[in-house]
Structures are given as structure tokens and as C-alpha cells.
Amino acid sequence: MKLAVLIELYRQVRAGAVRLDEPLTLKNEFHSMVDGSVYTLDPADDSETDLYRALGETRTLAELSELMITVSSNLATNLLMGRLGVDNIRAEVRALGADGMNVRRPLEDSKAFEKGLNNTTTARALLVLLEALAEGHAVDPDASRQMIAILERQTVNERIPAGLPPGITVAHKTGEITKIRHDAAIVYAPRPFVLVVLTRGLADEKAADALIAGIARRLYAATQ
């Protein structure tokens, strides 16, 4: 889902609706899609906590997008979704043909979760978005290159990259919640490929990571 937010950000930049250097005030206050009530994110449940210590300050949209992708900041994601608009993000996903992805709301909206109103995706939908980036069709070739550069700076590398030989460049986005671990990547091997692995039901996080790495290892061996 965060990949879709990134693509919509760059689409709006190209359209002149927002700027990458545009400052956004940091706040931890969001509204439930169910009844409009206010909720906050718990820093203990986020992979990045520095933003919570900087509430009231500003960060640029570029800085927030970097944190959203490279360290999977939930706070940065919600702030960007608020600025860009959930409906716009969903429309861009559909325009790119990623029909299996449904972006419905910002993160950690517990009232929406209780009613089954969740963000969902299929592996194919993520593959479609990554293919669009790899082929330069996500917004335009220059924007695609910029987004790929951010994905290459991903800091969680125990999954797909761990199954590949050293030196292989990987542009990817990981995801995880309880018993769910994902990785979706463009792998710049001698014969480049896109790989998306979604897992669920595995309580052992290291085992899930090893499974994803093993799939990457087998695919690399079969295609190179």
C-alpha cells in the first residue's frame, strides 16, 4: 500500500498539485473513516519513532516519502495520505491496472478495522505496480527512476535481498504485521525480474524471512 502512496505522490508532483520540497507539519492526529472520531498512532507499533519526537515541526513531502519507504514509517504514511487523498491514491492504483489492491484508509484506524474496512492487496497487484516502475510507466520515466532510487535505499534486507548473490541491486518494499511478512522487489540481476512474495500465518518471523529469501534464491538460480 505504501508503494501506491509513493506513486500517487509523484503523480501529483508532475501535475503541479504538490511539491517534493513542500513542508508538512507533523501531527499525530487522524480521523476514523467510520465516524470521523480522532485517533492517534502508537509509536511502540511503528518502525520509526523520531517523527513522534518532532511533532509540531515540519518535514518535506520528499523526506516523509523516504521514511515511508526505507524504514516503513506509519506516521509518515498517514501524513502523506492525508495530503494526497485516499481517493486519489486508489484512482491511480486502478489507472495502472493494479486491480487487486484496495486502498481504503490510513493506517491504524481501529474502528475501520473492526468493521472489516481494511487495505488489501494481491501479489499480482504489487507486481503490476513494480513493473510499471521498472518499465518507466509509473507517472513518467524520470519519476519512475526517482522512485526506484528510493526503493533501492530500503533498510530491511533480510528477505528477497538475502537470497541473492552479493552486489545485486534490489529496489523493494517490505511489509509486516502480526504473522504477515511481505517483500516486493525489482531485482536488477543480469536478467532482471520482479518478485513479490506475500506470507501469512507464520508466527516465526525469522522463518518467514528465510522462506522469502529461499524463494528469491531459487528464482535467481532458475532464471540467470
Inter-residue contact 77 to 59 (CB < 8 Å) = no
Is the C-alpha dihedral spanning 187, 215, 122, 207 positive or negative? negative
Write a three-state SS string for the chain: CHHHHHHHHHHHHHHCCCCCCCEEECCCCEECCCCCCEECCCHHHCCCCHHHHHCCCEEEHHHHHHHHHHCCCHHHHHHHHHHHCHHHHHHHHHHCCCCCCECCCCCCCHHHHHCCCCCECCHHHHHHHHHHHHCCCCCCHHHHHHHHHHHHCCCCCCCHHHHCCCCCEEEEEEEEECCEEEEEEEEECCCCEEEEEEEECCCCHHHHHHHHHHHHHHHHHHHC
CA quadruple 214, 220, 221, 222: dihedral, nearest 10: 110
- Please give the average pLDDT of every successive group of 10 residues along the chain, which has 224 residues: 98 98 98 96 95 98 98 98 97 97 95 92 98 97 98 98 98 92 98 97 94 98 96
pLDDT in tens, 186-214: 999 999 999 999 999 998 999 999 999 99
| Per-residue confidence (pLDDT) for residue 162, from 0 to 100 | 98
Residues 6+ apart with CB under 8 A from 137: 96, 131, 144
Inter-residue contact 120 to 102 (CB < 8 Å) = yes
Residues 6+ apart with CB under 8 A from 218: 163
| Per-residue confidence (pLDDT) for residue 179, from 0 to 100 | 86
In this structure, the number of other CB atoms found within 10 A of the CB of residue 143 comes to 19
Domains of the chain in sequence order:
1-147 (3.40.710.10), 154-224 (3.30.160)
